Structure 1
């Protein structure tokens, strides 16, 4: 049947489903009638305001702390550049002559004591090791001067002084450390403190696995242990030389010492 458009007639709008309406509206969770999104932003605003207030009230402390840190850093850099570095250079220059005396003393056939004394006390307008230790304490040269001074004292029969300076010497170098510990053992043996000497020989041998120093101090430890009637310890040190360092100087004759200790 034909339909006619009546004047003034408007076609009804199509109904929109409930789900479509919901999609067209902004989604905002609510809790007890309050917008949770708004609450989050309000909280953030309040937190930011409190932070700004705290910074404003404490800015002098904050900037003062930063300035203090900056001064410490600048001070350290200035100390290293303008004091520490020149001190190191000056100490090394001063010690050159003392080292020269020590080298001459070690290689000399006679009149060694006078050269060792020059190495310790200085000569030709240059400091000796003792003055370098005192004047340049804290420098690398000042530390190394302890080792050289101890060596000079050991070779002039002043064993207590040698022990003191060897103990004051600090190093991470394995060869120097082993040498210092072994020489300390020598000094204790000369002082009649054989148990102390044995301990330092063993410590020197254990610093590193060195084909020269390790068998040398194991051999000294073995000999000293044997003299102290510590047969098992002596054999232990001798057998370690035989097993691990048979090609060393000590290893060449170790069988005779093992036989003697058994």
Structure 2
């Protein structure tokens, strides 16, 4: 999982690329990372649900089929149901909103919509998801919300959520610096700031990455210096 995220972080982005191209490329990296994390922890949520009472158990049973569709990238069926008994993440999120499984269904529904390019719906589901205190899924979910806002051209909200995601990831790391997730989120925030003409703010983010996340691929390969140099050019 960490290797996959680091690989995404290490990718470079030419200054001539359009913002749309950047968002599209990063969407795949971020959503892929989140999906992988969700799949890994899904078993934990299901176990927790099965011992938490009948309502949780029923929600978890409904969720399991959707996870199969999600894992096989059948996002429309995962989201809206298959017409053969499985009702879809959107319906599960609504019917079981007070349960842990229902909350997870909101995250899945948001990711499904994002993968289908339905960014307005994605933002609503991801915003309704209640982050927990975990080190990986919740920060990644907040970053996914930021990515949705970016694709809706709500760039200030996008930057705020990406910064929030990095802060959340750092707060759960023993060293106070999550070198796998946080640089990825902050790099995207910096690119968005550059697209807004806010080079000074982007430069500050890039410099902070170099100083704080010394174990990240961006810093160890000196890739961050390219971002710093670009943002320093007036």
State whether TM-score is above 0.5: yes
1:118 aligns with 2:77: yes
Q: Which of 213, 216, 223 is the aligned partner of 1:248? A: 216
User: Match of 1:163?
Assistant: 123
Answering whether residue 112 of structure 2 is matched by residue 152 of structure 1, we say yes
CA distance in 2, matches of 1:243, 1:184: 26
1:247 shift after superposition: 3.0
Q: Which residue of 1 aligns with 2:8?
A: none
Instruction: Please list, as runs of the form range in 1=range in 2, the aligned pairs for 1:8-19 lying within 5 A after superposition.
Output: none
- Structure 2 gap ranges (5+): 1-51, 171-177
Question: How many Å apart are 1:135 and its aligned residue?
Answer: 2.2
Per-residue deviation, 1:241: 1.3
Q: Does the 8 Å contact 1:160/1:187 carry over to 2?
A: yes
Match of 1:214 among 182, 190, 194: 182
Match of 2:47 in 1: none
In 2: Cα distance, 1:160 partner to 1:153 partner: 8
1:79 aligned residue: none
**What does residue 65 of structure 1 align with?**
none
Contact residue 95 and residue 127 of structure 1 kept, 8 A: no
Shift of 1:171: 2.2
Contact 1:219 1:250 (C-alpha < 8 Å) held by counterparts: no
Deviation of the 1:221 alpha carbon: 1.1
SS at match of 2:117: coil
Separation in structure 2 between the aligned mates of residue 216 and residue 249 of structure 1, nearest angstrom: 10
Distance, in Å, in 2 between the alignment partners of 1:142 and 1:234 is: 37
Name the SS of the counterpart of 1:207 in structure 2: helix
Under a length normalisation based on structure 1, what TM-score does the superposition of the two structures give?
A: 0.62
2:229 aligned residue: 259
TM-score of the aligned structures, taking structure 2 as reference length: 0.69
Contact (CA 8 Å) 1:212, 1:248: kept in 2 or not? yes
What are the superposed Cα offsets for residues 235-260 of structure 1, whole Å, 9 maximum, x if unpaired?
A: 11111111122332333310111111
| Structure 1 segment 225-240 matched on structure 2, within 5 A | 225-240=193-208
- Secondary structure of the structure 2 residue equivalent to 1:138: coil
Q: Deviation per CA, 1:66-125, whole angstroms, max 9, x where unpaired? A: xxxxxxxxxxxxxxxxxx7011111111111101111111xxxxxxxxx11100112242
Q: Which residue of 1 aligns with 2:12?
A: none
CA separation in 2, counterparts of 1:191 and 1:153? 13
Structure 1 residue ranges (4+ consecutive) displaced by more than 3 angstroms after TM superposition: none
Contact 2:179 2:214 in 1 (8 A): no
2:199 is the counterpart of 1:199: no
User: In the alignment, is the contact (CA less than 8 A) between 2:194 and 2:231 conserved in 1?
Assistant: yes
Mapped to 1, the partners of 2:95 and 2:157 lie a distance apart of 32
Corresponding position of 1:136: 96
Structure 1 unaligned spans of 5+ = 1-83, 106-114
- Residue 181 of structure 1 and its aligned partner are, at CA, apart by 1.4
* Highest RCO, 1 vs 2 (Cα 8 Å, sep ≥ 6): 2
